[in-house]
Each structure stands twice: as C-alpha cells, then as structure tokens.
Structure 1
Amino acid sequence: MTNHKDRNGDYAVATKRDEQARQILARKIAAHAIAEGDMLTAIPGLRLYRRSQPTPCASAAYEPSLVVFVQGKKQVNVGKTTYVCDESTFLLTSVDLPVVSQVVEATEEVPLLGLILKLEMPAVREILSQQEFHVREDSADARGMAIGVTSIELLDACARLVDLIDTPQDIPFLGSLIQREIVFRLLRSPQGKHLRAIATLGEQSHRTSKAVEWLRINYAKPLRIDELAAMARMGVSTLHHQFRSLTAMSPLQYQKHVRLHVARERMLNHGLDAASAAFEVGYESASQFNREYSRFFGQPPMRDVKARRQTGSATSQA
C-alpha cells in the first residue's frame, strides 16, 4: 500500500515537472514575442503575446480559441462572470464573445506571456468523429468560455508548436499535426465538454451557437427573439436559458455588448463621431447610445476614445 510520504513525493515530482515544462514554454514564447502586444506567426492560427505592465480594462472580441498563459495574471469578464488567468491556466473560448479584460500582474522582468491558438470547429468535429475517441456523457450546460489547469502534455505540445517558428519548412506538415494533438488534449480535459457541446451537430449548445453567430454578424439589425429561437429550432424560453448558459448574457445583452464594442472600434480606428458610430451599429437614439456606452466603458464615447488614443491602448485577446 502506498503511504502518504510516497504520494506526497509523487505530487512534488509532478509539480516540478509541470513547472519545468511551463518555464520551457515561457522561454520559447519570450524569445519570439519581443514587442508589446500580439505577434503573428507563420503558423496558421497561432499568435504569441507579451505585456510588460498592468493595463486598464479593455474591450475585446474573443473568437473560438485556446489561450495558454505561462507568466503573469489576467482577468477576463464575460457578462457578470469573471475568469482569473495565471501562469498555471488556459482559457478556452468556444463561441464568439464580447469581453472586458485587464492585465493585473506583469512587469519588465516577469511579463505576461502566452500563446493564442484559433480553434477551427471542422477540425474539432473531425477528431470527435474518430471511433477511438471516447467521451463521457455530461448533462451540464455548456459554457462559451472555460478555464482549466494546463497539463504537462498540453504544455509540451504547445512548446513543440512554437518550435516550428524556427523551422518554417516543417510548418505545412507538422503544424497541423501538433494543432490536432492540442485539440485532442483539450477535448480530453475536464473543460473539453464545453468544446464538444458546441462542435457536436444537433446538440442544443451547437444550435444556440448558431444564434450567437447570427447576432454577432447581424448586430445592427433589430432583435426579434422569436425569429432567433426559430433559427435555433427551440422555444423562446429554452433559447433564453441556453443563450445565457453559453454566453453569460441574454440575447439582448449580447447584442448590446457587440454593438458597443464595434462602435468603439470604429471611433478609434475609423474616426467616426459618437452619433455616426451609434447609427452604424443599430442605435436609433444617440442619447441612448451615450448613456449605455458611459455605463459600460465608464465614460462618454469621445472622452473614452481620446483617452485610449493618448495611452495607445489596444485590444487583444490574450
């Protein structure tokens, strides 16, 4: 029989191996992500990320993706739900979500470091369709975002993917293989149930994700909840429940958040005034837009845009 000392020793060894794997990945990311913010790589769907100081709250649009953090700490808010991400965690997003995020721990010596890998649902479905991939039945409602503890297997696969940046000739063949392994590791993790629910055709979560996608694309159109429910092939009350479970928001709140995010981006990057941005994203009243914008971002539209231009703030997913 294994005694407590043996179990504690095994745990200490496992923890040390996890920390070593995390440090290896951190060094590899730091070697490439030299500048602040996101860095695109030659590997399709992969970005690296560095932040050397805490940041104010910033709006962003998260797409289906995996974010692996290896240093620092970040807070991500979806609706009224808060996710705190540190060097031991990954963040899994399975549907498009408007979020507000903030780097809370980062320095020049120990910057926030991470990688962002876009997830393609057809690839997820292809892995799920393989007979050798068995999953447990789980009746829990799926979430559009989930946080988990990064395993040594996931860290190792991510490190090998980052290594391909130095051997671009290997990317076309090995890049897709390693990304498939990463998706496989995610699906096998406790958080995999959220990704499986979205990827599985016919599931309520998958049908709800279609309603989410429609709202994200057609945010400027009037919201008719009965038509949205018919599109998802479910009753209005069921859609409300599933939609809130998936996004932590009602359909109306989701539409409002997307409208405000898009309006802010257009004022920042396209020079629109508040009234023009409001009407472009579907508001019929500029005063209502100003009220909701101030409530959501903490200050009136043009004051907020001016402040962000002065600080050079930019939205980022990691």
Structure 2
Amino acid sequence: MDLLPEMADLIARHAPPDLSRSAVPGLRLYRSDTPTRMVAAAYEPMLCLMVSGAKQTMLGDVVYTYRAGDCLVVSADLPVCGSVIDTPYLALSFDLNPVTIAALVLELGAPAPLDQPPPSGIHVTRLDEDLLDPLARMLRLLERPGEIGVMTPMIERELVWRLLNSRHAATMRQIGSAESRLSGVNRAIRWIIDNYARPMRIEDLSDMAGMSLSTFHRHFRTVTTMSPLQFHKQVRLREARARLLSGADGAAETGFAVGYDSPSQFSREYARQFGLPPARDAARMRESLMAG
C-alpha cells in the first residue's frame, strides 16, 4: 500500500468541506479531523477506499468497521448510519455505473448465471493492490484538471475491468445486469425509497423484482440485512428524523407526512429506533449541532 500516503495528501488538499462530488465525475472525497456521531446517509453502488483513519457503517443491525487499506463495495441503494471512529479520516469513493459494467461484461463474455443469489449490500475487504493504482491516478487528475475529461473514462474502464477480474467479480456482474437477482431487489428498494409514505404490499414488490414471495424475502434480506417491512419502516423513520431536524413540522404532522396513521405508533417506533420520542430527539439533535 505504498501509494496510500500520496493519496492521503491529495485527499487532504482537495476534499470539499460539504462532501460534494469532486471535479472528477463519480469521485467523492471525505475528510474529518475529529470523530463524529452516527449520522444517517444514503449509499448508492460504489467502491469506497479508506485511506486513513477508521469508520463504522451500520446497515440494519449489522455494523461494518473498516480502516486504512480496506475497501467497501456497495451493491445497492441503501439507507445507513455511519460514524468516524479514528482520525485523521481520509477516504474516497467512486460510483459503480451499471452501464459501464454491462459493456465490459459483454466484452469479457460468459456472464454470470442470472439466477444466482444476490451479493450482500455491503462487503468489506482489504483492497486488492491492482485496484490501488487506478484509484491513485484518478486522484492525481485533481492536480491536472485539463486531463479530467479525457482520462476519467479511461481510468474508470480500467477500474471496472480490474473489479470484474477480482474477488468482487460476481457482485460487479450482478450490478451490471438488468436481469440479475440484485437488480430485481434494487428495483424494489428504489420503489420503497421513492414511495416511503405510501402503503406497501410485499406481493407488488416481489412482482416488481420478478421473484416468488419466498425468494424475494430471502434475497431482500441478503442484500439489506432486513425484511421489506423493516426496511420500509427504517426509511420512513429516517425521513421523519430529517423533517423534525428542519423544524418545519411538529411530531404528529411529521408522522402523518411519512405515512403513519397513528401518532402514538409513530412515537413508539421512533423512540425504539432513535432512543427518544420525536420532539425530544429533535431538540437533542439541534443542541448537538449548536454545540458542535
């Protein structure tokens, strides 16, 4: 991992304060000099490299810890919580584009069987050395902005090709296939995220994913670590927390806005998820933000 010190220096110099995308399409940079509390985030399919420090990410009840030299492969759209636990925290992520993956899979030939089980939504491993060099070259483009337009697609293609020839090959092939089990689960996930306030029928989701009910339940849990009902509830409650923090509505109005018919049920489930009833949790979050 001889390239990590150089990459840490580049991230430290170029990481934007608001975690927005960098000048390189698909590339995000992350930096924190202090540990952070658990905050909600939305992950999309990506490859993330921890360059320095350490972080914990929670998906459902499963906690993933990764440190310098570890990579995180995300294969679906997932609502998570994350906290920096060791600093200086420096990391990067690059979007995994299904179109780019599909094009290279066609060139490689022999696509993976479409009926194979989907991969877990988050997978943490040590980064393969073959992946480090293209990621370092991607970062160096930040120092040579005139080359970004020409070089980024070439480096992205190399990076995807190396992932397709790595331990992550099965995951990559499923991300790139519109007919894979993972793609079917991701269609259901995206519907839940986009329609969290609406009633949800598991039968409709399984039809959307192109699976029987039992197969859908099994594969959905493999990807998300949760049942569809648990996932739906978590998406609703995270949206409710964001609304409460903004101060636009009170607890009862927020509960109705995210799809709850009963204020008491909303309050109970919210307190079970976040440790305090809605109004008290919102007040605590605002105090924490003001103190920070």
TM-score by length of 1: 0.84
Q: 1:142-183 CA distances to partner (integer Å, 9 max, x unpaired)?
A: 111111211232222111111111222211111122122222
> 1:187, CA displacement in angstroms?
2.6
| Aligned residues of 1:146 and 1:194 also touching (Cα < 8 A) | no
- How do 1:164-175 and structure 2 match up within 5 A? 164-175=141-152
Asked if 1:92 corresponds to 2:92, the answer is no
Aligned residue identity for 1:22: L
| Aligned residues of 1:58 and 1:101 also touching (Cα < 8 A) | yes
**Counterpart-to-counterpart distance in 1, 2:20 and 2:187:** 30
Aligned residue identity for 2:158: E
**Counterpart-to-counterpart distance in 1, 2:165 and 2:89:** 27
Paired position in structure 2 for 1:176: 153
Give aligned-pair identity as a percent: 38
Report how many aligned residue pairs link the two structures: 289
Asked if 1:218 corresponds to 2:218, the answer is no
| Aligned residues of 1:146 and 1:191 also touching (Cα < 8 A) | no
Paired position in structure 1 for 2:13: 31
Deviates more, 1:26-35 or 1:237-246: 26-35
- How do 1:158-307 and structure 2 match up within 5 A? 158-269=135-246, 271-307=248-284
Paired position in structure 1 for 2:28: 47
Q: 1:97-134 CA distances to partner (integer Å, 9 max, x unpaired)?
A: 1112221112xxxx110012222211221221113x66
Aligned residue identity for 1:177: M
Cα 1:225–1:41 change in 2 (3 A) is same
SS at match of 1:40: coil
Cα 1:298–1:170 change in 2 (3 A) is same
| Aligned residues of 1:144 and 1:194 also touching (Cα < 8 A) | no
| Structure 1 spans left out of the alignment, 5+ residues | 1-17, 314-318
Aligned residue identity for 1:90: C
**Counterpart-to-counterpart distance in 1, 2:159 and 2:197:** 36
Cα 1:71–1:283 change in 2 (3 A) is same
Q: Kindly report the root-mean-square deviation, in angstroms, between the aligned alpha carbons of the 2 structures.
A: 2.1
Asked if 1:81 corresponds to 2:58, the answer is no
Cα 1:22–1:134 change in 2 (3 A) is farther
> 1:86, CA displacement in angstroms?
0.5
Aligned residue identity for 2:56: Q
SS at match of 2:19: strand
SS at match of 1:53: coil
- Which of 41, 45, 69 pairs up with 1:60? 41
Runs (4+) of structure 1 exceeding 3 A deviation are: 133-141
Asked if 1:149 corresponds to 2:117, the answer is no
Aligned residue identity for 1:62: Y
Cα 1:187–1:261 change in 2 (3 A) is farther
TM-score by length of 2: 0.91
| Aligned residues of 1:67 and 1:116 also touching (Cα < 8 A) | yes
| Structure 2 spans left out of the alignment, 5+ residues | none
**Counterpart-to-counterpart distance in 1, 2:284 and 2:137:** 40
- How do 1:2-41 and structure 2 match up within 5 A? 18=1, 20-33=2-15, 35=17, 38-41=19-22
